[in-house]
Amino acid sequence: MCGRFVMARATADLVSAFGVDDVAGPEVRPSWNIAPTQRVRLVTERLDPETGELTRLLETARWGLVPVWAKSASVGARMINARVETVTEKPSFRAAAVKRRALVPAEGYYEWQKTGAGKIPHYLTSEDGSLLAFAGLYEFWKDPELPEEAEEQWLMSCTIITTSATDALGHIHDRTPLIVPPDLQADWLDPHLADKHDVRQLLDAMPEPRLVPRIVSAAVGSVRNNGPELIEPAG
């Protein structure tokens, strides 16, 4: 699974890296310890039905997808990840998989390796330090407890798709975020791609990521700790 990750770059950096046309939603603070239910940045692409023009957006969503049929937003805490093997079939995710795909920018993520003495935290990032783009889905949920005119009535939430870990990373954990390479990011975001079987083919075409792991401090285990020292190699 992916339960903690890092995104500390400025909004301007994300706009440049992902060719964003417009920014929407509240600002998100830099974080070296993003946890479920917190706000994260998403890159999405919307199609104007009248002009046919595409607009690439940098938006803000709560991490943990809340399906449209949910009675409470609290279910999102259990839906921070979606397995690539079943994402086009499971009721919670299948509609979003064909209609609401996103990229979740990240500098890296944490995973805990189980050992006889406990769990060892690792930080995984790209070989060259470039930004990662997790394959994500998003959904809009209407809070039935709020009045129609309430500004916060609609919640935008998201999930990160995971896949089986490669041999090089499998010794740390058996799951890893599905990372969309630059040459497939436009295809992943394209709202014209709306057939389940085509989405499935694109998912299957995603290459294995080349990531570099390093052991970091156990301090990352507490969401109260947040700073660049968390990604430094453990002493």
Q: Which of 45, 107, 111, 139 is catalytic?
A: 111
More confident position, 85 or 117:
85
Q: pLDDT-based confidence at 235, cuts 50/70/90? A: confident
Is pLDDT of 167 > 70? no
Is 2 catalytic? The answer is: yes
Decide if 133 contacts 179 (C-beta within 8 A).
Answer: yes
Rounded Cα gap, residues 29 and 40, in angstroms: 9
Q: Which of 2, 45, 139, 158 is catalytic?
A: 2
pLDDT digits (tens, 9 = 90+) for 74-94: 999 999 999 999 999 999 999
Decide if 60 contacts 39 (C-beta within 8 A).
Answer: yes
pTM of the prediction?
0.95
Name the percent of the chain lying above pLDDT 90: 81
